[in-house]
Structure 1
Amino acid sequence: MKFTCSVCINKPVNTVIEEFLNPESLKRSMKGFIKKELISGELHATGAKSKLYYDKFEMEETILENNLPMFFYAQYDHTHMSNTMKTTFKPLSDNETQIITEIHYTIFKGFVIKIISKLFPNFFKKQTQKWLNEFKKYTEK
């Protein structure tokens, strides 16, 4: 399953990227996010692995390519699913940045999540868009 979401943020691209990479920003803009812990590699570098902790689950992030300020590409592995996410940062002006997020779910493990992905595919897109909208609100404050 593949989809794309986007949002325009009224801040310069460097500010948006700084907030995107900051786990403290995620705590304030993503409901349930607790912390990010580097497991191996260099922070934010291609090949780095981190564990992401949420209220109800954990997942592992592997950075596939960090080509900032243009894009950030990573894989996310959870007990029940795996996906890649490419986040592109497009400056629209000196003080406006568009974030374009391309998600590709590659694996669904387990009966329930497979059913959800087939019957309610927009659930995943709505969750991603919700996070982007909350990130926009937080970053523009």
Structure 2
Amino acid sequence: MKYTTEIEINKPIDRVIALFDNPDNMKEWMEGLQSFEPISGTPGEPGAKSRLKFKMGNREMEMIETVTVRNLPDEFTGTYEAQGASTTVKNSFIKISDSKTKYITEHEFQAKGIMKIVAFLMPGAFKKQSMKFLTAFKNFAESQE
């Protein structure tokens, strides 16, 4: 399953990139994120692996991020492996004006087992969750100096 989401942020592109590129900020906009733990490599650089732990309601989820491309603002791509699923996310940032930035994410989701059925029955849920993260990032970015 492939889909794209995008949002406009009322901040200059350099500020948006600085906020996006700081892993300490992830908890500010990724609902449910409990921890971000580097495993190997230099965080944020191609080949780096990190463990992300989420808590959503009573459910806990862990995923491994592997950075594959870092060429900001044009592209920051990573793969995210979790039990039963793998997602590749390409993040891109486009300068609209001196004070406005477009943030685009392209997702390619691959599921196995029961997750394949969930993805088939509820494809909109994945896009909705991605849009929720984009909106939260926009709100976070716009609240920063």
What is the TM-score when the length of structure 2 is the normalising length? 0.91
Q: Does 1:61 align with 2:65?
A: yes
Partner letter of residue 34 of structure 1? Q
Quote the offset at 1:31 in angstroms: 1.2
Structure 1 runs not aligned, ≥5 long: none
Secondary structure in 1 matching 2:126: helix
User: CA offsets, 1:59-112, max 9 Å, x none?
Assistant: 000011101121101100001200100000101011111011000013x1222x
Quote the offset at 1:48 in angstroms: 0.8
1:38 counterpart residue number:
38
Distance 1:73 1:23 in 2: 15
Quote the offset at 1:25 in angstroms: 2.0
Secondary structure in 2 matching 1:47: coil
Q: Does 1:139 align with 2:135?
A: no
Secondary structure in 2 matching 1:57: strand
2:94 counterpart residue number:
90
Distance 1:16 1:92 in 2: 12
What is the TM-score when the length of structure 1 is the normalising length? 0.94
Secondary structure in 2 matching 1:63: strand
Partner letter of residue 18 of structure 1? A
The counterpart of 1:119, out of the listed 114, 118, 121, is: 121
Quote the offset at 1:42 in angstroms: 1.3
- Alignment RMSD, CA only? 1.1
Quote the offset at 1:14 in angstroms: 1.5
The percentage of aligned residue pairs carrying the same residue is 42
Distance 2:116 2:20 in 1: 30
Secondary structure in 1 matching 2:38: strand
